[in-house]
Amino acid sequence: MTQDHFYEYWPIIDRPDIEWPGGKRLAVYIGLNIEHYESGKTSISILEKTAGRDPDPLNEGWREYGNRVGIWRIMDLLDKYGVRPSVLLNADVCKYYPRIIEEGNRRNWNWVAHGKNNSMFAGSKQPQLRPEEERGYLRDVLSTIQLATGKACKGWLGPLGLSETYETIDLLADEGLTYVLDWINDDQPYPLKTVAGEIISVPYSLEINDLPLFLQRGLTGPEFGQMIIDQFEVLHRDARKAARVMAIGIHPFVTGQPFRLKYLEQAIAYISRQKDIWITTSDEIAAWYMLNYYATHVQKLREVAMVQGL
């Protein structure tokens, strides 16, 4: 399989212009990853040499800090600036951390399905699910989140590093979802290929994302805050030519640590002072695009495919 299984190549300079509500040119959202990790399974670790232990108090405790403490610190910060996040939610959070769901509902958070937990289901890295097995898995995740939050999810982010199978997008579209965040290859939404329903890609980021930046690249808090501002300023400039989306990915067990949070706050404060941007959610970005641009862009992509002989 190749990338054309999922989408057409369509460079941003060749697309019709789009605008966000009120003529805004740059949409910004925070992707807040709230996750559950099963005990006794090797996963994201702050110290790899203990990751194979069972139990592993060091790494499991570090991850669990996010849901016990870090999330409440982040919640206060978002409340302060009136930011409603897109919560990338493992379904198991509904079972193990109901207080988080309760407070998120009280704040009308945007819930985006993020698999059952971050310890299972990853495309080719684990035994491949058959399509009907995957459909059952997806339905279980979606129904669990809807029951707990009272809202049906419209979007999806694959767990365990944006994992998908070759059937995931078709199955999600068939289940009524309208967008995925897994394909981190663009600054705008665009239509995905599917045999059932209509579904799009909405930009997400593994660059402006605390997990790889702090744990893999060793960034400091001040560098993280400045990187968010730098990303914003360049996208803000680029958006004069073509409207853009900026995603900021955070995890409570990473940015929820006290010595890091202050630098996220500095970046949010800076962005919040700008008057010509749309601070929003991934749901709202997807809905606006689907309503105003999806049909015409699908037609344009058909023309592109014909020219390319695809």
Buried b (16+ CB within 10 A) or exposed e, 110-130: bbbbbbbbbbbbbbeeeeebe
Collapsing DSSP states into helix, strand and coil, what is residue 298? helix
Of the candidates 112, 176, 148, 221, which has an alpha carbon nearest to the alpha carbon of residue 213?
221
Distance between CA 13 and CA 22 in Å, rounded? Answer: 23
Work out the average pLDDT over 211-236.
Answer: 96
Q: Give the contacts of 306 (CB within 8 A, at least 6 positions apart).
A: none
pLDDT (0 to 100) of residue 126: 54
Work out the average pLDDT over 149-168.
Answer: 95
Work out the average pLDDT over 243-265.
Answer: 98
Residue for token pair 């399509």 = 131
Q: How confident is the model at residue 124 (pLDDT cuts 50, 70, 90)?
A: very low
Residue 128 predicted with pLDDT over 80: no
- Count of C-beta atoms within a 10 Å radius of residue 214: 20
Domains and CATH numbers, the chain: 18-308 (3.20.20.370)
Residue 207 predicted with pLDDT over 80: yes
Q: How confident is the model at residue 129 (pLDDT cuts 50, 70, 90)?
A: confident
Identify residue 124 by its one-letter amino acid code: S
pLDDT (0 to 100) of residue 2: 45
pLDDT (0 to 100) of residue 4: 62
Residue for token pair 């109901």 = 98
Q: How confident is the model at residue 1 (pLDDT cuts 50, 70, 90)?
A: very low
Q: H/E element holding 262?
A: helix 258-272
Distance between CA 81 and CA 198 in Å, rounded? Answer: 34
* DSSP symbols for 163-183: ---TTHHHHHHHTT--EES--
pLDDT (0 to 100) of residue 125: 47
Of the candidates 231, 220, 237, which has an alpha carbon nearest to the alpha carbon of residue 276?
237
Collapsing DSSP states into helix, strand and coil, what is residue 133? helix
Over residues 6-39, the pLDDT tens digits come to: 999 999 999 999 999 999 999 999 999 999 998 8
CA distances from 171 to 132, 133, 177 (A): 9, 11, 9
Distance between CA 100 and CA 93 in Å, rounded? Answer: 8
Identify residue 212 by its one-letter amino acid code: P
pLDDT (0 to 100) of residue 33: 98
